[in-house]
Amino acid sequence: MGKIVILGVFVADTAYRADRPPRMGETILGNSFALGPGGKGSNQAVAAARAGGDTHFITKLGQDTFADMALDIWASSGVVPEITQHDDSYTGAAYIFVEEASGDNAIIVCPGVARTISPDYIDGRAALIGGATVFMTQLEQPMEAAVRALQIARDGGARTILNPAPADTLPEGMLALCDYVTPNESETEGITGLPVTDLDEAREAAELLLAKGVGAAIITLGENGALYHDATQSVHVPAMAAGPVVETTGAGDAFNGGFATALAAGRDPIEAVRFGCATAGISVTRPGTAPSMPTLQEIEALLAEG
């Protein structure tokens, strides 16, 4: 197993379940509330570590109760924290609305002190990033930090993954630093300007991503699985059902963490996508984000079922 290094953000998830979202100016009664560990980068690190990956996570935390939550989930999951803590700001938090009937969600993220992660901060961790087998980042921390980390990882020979979430405008040349980019349908449309409502449209958008310099595009399609598309092959990997869907909040992070782990273990990219789909398929049968991530044994059992 090679080393996985992930740059990202930890936030405490405050999850509210209700029959519908409130309208502006309206107050409604919810059905339940939960507080737990989250943040895309942290969730992906937990998913990768639980799936058997040697996983290191770079971020900043405050010195508060939410930071304690972060350290606890990483310790229990096997994530190696590569962090600093600061008393002049706060650890991130997220508001998550979950629609009771469908499990669909809407999210607001406040990264807190992680918003101050800078290229200089990344340069201070260049040896770790440059020595990775697989490096992955998202867009919850500042864009310039993500770009710098991708540059260092690429120079060091790591296989680089960008999960372009939450959706944002990418600077010129950023996609060319990525061996793999893993947007969902809406993020793909935001990057390419092309709608993604079926496989043909996903392939057309993936071709445009390749034209922007990406090594391979992996477009996640929710209940329809994922499309892997590179210069020589285009393969649709169906979703893997592990039971009734409870909550989809952490599905994308589960996929990315599983995919990174499979790559670091030497699996070919298509097998790594299948591994990611299995990871996501189990995660959606459980509530929460980081707590929903499955173990390697659970993932292998689902893959064995076909």
What fold, for 3-22+33-304? UDP-N-acetylmuramoyl-L-alanine:D-glutamate ligase (3.40.1190)
pLDDT per position as a tens digit, 96-155 = 898 999 888 888 889 999 999 999 999 999 999 999 999 999 999 999 999 999 999 999
Strand arrangement, sheet containing 54-62: 80-86, 54-62, 3-7, 134-137, 159-162, 180-181, 216-220, 226-230, 234-237
User: Which pLDDT score, from 0 to 100, does residue 289 have?
Assistant: 85
Domain boundaries, the chain: 3-22+33-304
Given a contact cutoff of 8 angstroms between Cβ atoms, the answer to whether 288 and 249 are in contact is: yes
- 80-86 and 11-18 as β-strands: parallel, antiparallel, unpaired? unpaired
Given a contact cutoff of 8 angstroms between Cβ atoms, the answer to whether 24 and 106 are in contact is: no
This prediction has a pTM of 0.93
Q: What angle do CA 145, 147, 151 make, to 5 degrees?
A: 115
Question: How confident is the prediction for the chain on average, in pLDDT?
Answer: 95
Average pLDDT over residues 39-53: 97
Cα 251 to Cα 161: distance, rounded to the nearest angstrom:
17
User: Which pLDDT score, from 0 to 100, does residue 66 have?
Assistant: 97
pLDDT per position as a tens digit, 251-267 = 999 999 999 999 999 99
Q: Identify the bridge partners of residue 55 per DSSP, sorted by sequence position.
A: 4
Q: Give me the catalytic one of 13, 54, 179, 253.
A: 253
Annotated catalytic residue 253 = yes
User: Which pLDDT score, from 0 to 100, does residue 109 have?
Assistant: 83
Peptide bond into 294 cis (omega under 30): no
Given a contact cutoff of 8 angstroms between Cβ atoms, the answer to whether 142 and 111 are in contact is: no
- Report how far apart, in Å, the C-alpha atoms of 265 and of each of 55, 84, 270 are: 12, 29, 13
The answer on pLDDT for 85 being more than 90 is yes
Given a contact cutoff of 8 angstroms between Cβ atoms, the answer to whether 219 and 247 are in contact is: no
Q: What is the dihedral of CA 136, 123, 10, 262, to 10 degrees?
A: 20
